[in-house]
Amino acid sequence: MNDAKTELGRKLLKIKKQHGWKWSDIAAKLGHAPVWTAAACLGQMSMTEETAAKTQTLFGLTDEEAELLAEAPYRGSLPTAVPTDPLIYRFYELIQVYGTTWKDMIHEEFGDGIMSAIDFDMTLERQPDQKGDRVKLTMSGKFLPYKRY
């Protein structure tokens, strides 16, 4: 694991909070989607040198920190196999309950393969509802069929 990337992510979160920025604000300044921007700043994606330079200027980072943003990360940021944070655990719970359903439905629609987490987009929206606002996540990943020899 890259503890330096994790520490840098914590530093960026602190600066973000001090300025009252939202991920959508930062994303607009960097020219990327908010979800990708958050993942990159938290150490789960590698930035191009150009984006790392923009991030350096925006956050007032050192050259070494900007270089770290461009490094390929060790992906996977959860400290335990079963997440203990309640919000993150709900996603784990969704996989437990719906994982086999999603797998079967994807196979039914596309055939034997997977949804890419590399060629992947995700958006997050607030959806107003009279019973309380809802979280709307939209995920889109390229279908990758398994090769047959």
User: What size, in residues, is the chain?
Assistant: 149
DSSP string covering 62-129: -HHHHHHHHSPP-----SSSS--SHHHHHHHHHHHHHHHHHHHHHHHHH-SEEEEEEEEEEEEEEE--
Distance CA(106)–CA(143), nearest Å, equals 9
Residue of 10, 90, 134, 140 with catalytic role = 90
Reply yes or no on whether 140 is catalytic. Answer: no
Residue of 75, 93, 134, 140 with catalytic role = 93
Residue of 10, 67, 75, 116 with catalytic role = 116
Reply yes or no on whether 7 is catalytic. Answer: no
Residues in a beta bridge with 135: 126
Distance CA(122)–CA(138), nearest Å, equals 5
Contact 62, 72 (CB under 8 A): no
Reply yes or no on whether 50 is catalytic. Answer: no
Which active-site residues does the annotation give?
A: 90, 93, 116
